[in-house]
Structure 1
């Protein structure tokens, strides 16, 4: 039976997104695969979007929906900063995301995680799942790969982690989701470390991620896996 692939379908991110608080800030992580059904439209997309200098959002669901919500929130936060003369708090940014998601819940198919740092509350993580609910949590996971991670986080997450411990936890969790969830993958997780001021992101290619049960090591081509000789160059 022939399987037809609709390449004109909206791009949806079969996704793993994660936000974790630690003792001094937050770590956000995501895989980098954007898919349209069974077709991988982009294997190196960035699902962590900057809203302000101190707040970022992890995007899952429809890529178009999550991008337009991020763009609107970024614009409103910029106006907010100009009017007040100081950066918006993480809670204000998260509530703007919640407001747009809830008021347009019949049209949007996106779940988001807002994370950042401000001088009032320190590092904070807010989950805004499909429908526009807002929940403040010490850690949040979302996307199709999250169903494989709840038990892992219940066991591995602990309060008062250092930045290195939190980043290592996010790296392990994203690699585990990539191993189990066919809709998550790509080049590896994009981890962004935030401490007071937004820091540069770290990219982990697939061959630098830990392997899990029955996973094969990364190869350059199918010929490497089969052990076949390279074809002669013409």
Structure 2
């Protein structure tokens, strides 16, 4: 997942982040594993960072780099809100993230997603990959686990999804990535953002649904989504 620390090797940028636009807002999610090379240094990291009450940053890449970008943009967002007496738009903050990424593309290692809701455009998702490109999308994913998700999300996403459908799609996508990508795992964090604000949801590791190649521990039956593993 996210990398931390320094070495002579290329930065390890394993993680999985997913954002989906639905009828009334957006659902975002991420796994929680942080690695330093092959060592898992944090099993419960939070990669979903609020930039304002209605706009969130999803971080993958170097933990230090992406945290710094989030801190700067949140500072600018607070100044913007005070000066204009209104919340900044999702596009404004996404553009700030992209500008910082582009201006420092030779130094920063961060593939980011900005998602949220505003009164002008409703729910929005913006991909901000390494280098500072800015692209609005109905859904997107990044990080090492995203390699396994593009086909699934392209197949399962549809216009006008309900909140429950979008949350299920994001949770299943993250679980699929964790089952295949050794750098993604731990618990799953989801945030749903709409006109009512942001609502967090946490799925503990023992409630993340397993897939065909994951066998339950002896004496236990595999859980379905949202249910804990139980004794057989």
TM over 0.5: yes
1:174 & 1:217 partners in 2: Cα distance?
A: 19
1:79 corresponds in structure 2 to: 79
1:94 corresponds in structure 2 to: 94
1:140 & 1:8 partners in 2: Cα distance?
A: 27
SS at match of 1:125: strand
Residues 53 and 198 of structure 2 are in contact (CA less than 8 Å); yes or no, is this contact kept in structure 1? Answer: no
2:6 is matched with which residue: 9, 29, 34? 9
Task: Give the RMSD, CA atoms, in angstroms.
Answer: 1.5
1:218 & 1:87 partners in 2: Cα distance?
A: 48
SS at match of 2:193: strand
Residues 13 and 34 of structure 1 are in contact (CA less than 8 Å); yes or no, is this contact kept in structure 2? Answer: no
1:222 corresponds in structure 2 to: none
SS at match of 2:26: strand
Residues 32 and 8 of structure 1, relative CA distance in 2, 3 Å threshold: closer
Residues 218 and 145 of structure 1, relative CA distance in 2, 3 Å threshold: farther
- Kindly state the Cα deviation for residue 218 of structure 1 after the two structures are TM-superposed: 6.0
2:20 corresponds in structure 1 to: 20
Residues 12 and 63 of structure 1 are in contact (CA less than 8 Å); yes or no, is this contact kept in structure 2? Answer: no
- Kindly state the Cα deviation for residue 168 of structure 1 after the two structures are TM-superposed: 0.1
The answer as to 2:103 corresponding to 1:103 is yes
1:153 corresponds in structure 2 to: 153
The answer as to 2:183 corresponding to 1:213 is no
2:185 & 2:155 partners in 1: Cα distance?
A: 23
- The structure with the largest alpha-carbon Rg is 1
Residues 33 and 40 of structure 2 are in contact (CA less than 8 Å); yes or no, is this contact kept in structure 1? Answer: yes
2:198 corresponds in structure 1 to: 199
Q: Which runs of 5+ in 1 are unaligned?
A: 1-6, 220-234
- Kindly state the Cα deviation for residue 78 of structure 1 after the two structures are TM-superposed: 0.7
- Kindly state the Cα deviation for residue 13 of structure 1 after the two structures are TM-superposed: 4.9
1:102 & 1:173 partners in 2: Cα distance?
A: 29
Residues 16 and 142 of structure 2 are in contact (CA less than 8 Å); yes or no, is this contact kept in structure 1? Answer: yes
1:3 corresponds in structure 2 to: none
Residues 54 and 198 of structure 2 are in contact (CA less than 8 Å); yes or no, is this contact kept in structure 1? Answer: no
2:87 & 2:16 partners in 1: Cα distance?
A: 29
- Kindly state the Cα deviation for residue 195 of structure 1 after the two structures are TM-superposed: 1.1
Residues 26 and 115 of structure 1 are in contact (CA less than 8 Å); yes or no, is this contact kept in structure 2? Answer: yes
Q: TM-score with structure 1 length normalisation?
A: 0.87
1:52 & 1:217 partners in 2: Cα distance?
A: 41
1:35 corresponds in structure 2 to: 35
Cα deviation per residue 1:87-106 (whole Å; 9 max; x = unaligned)? 00000000000000000000
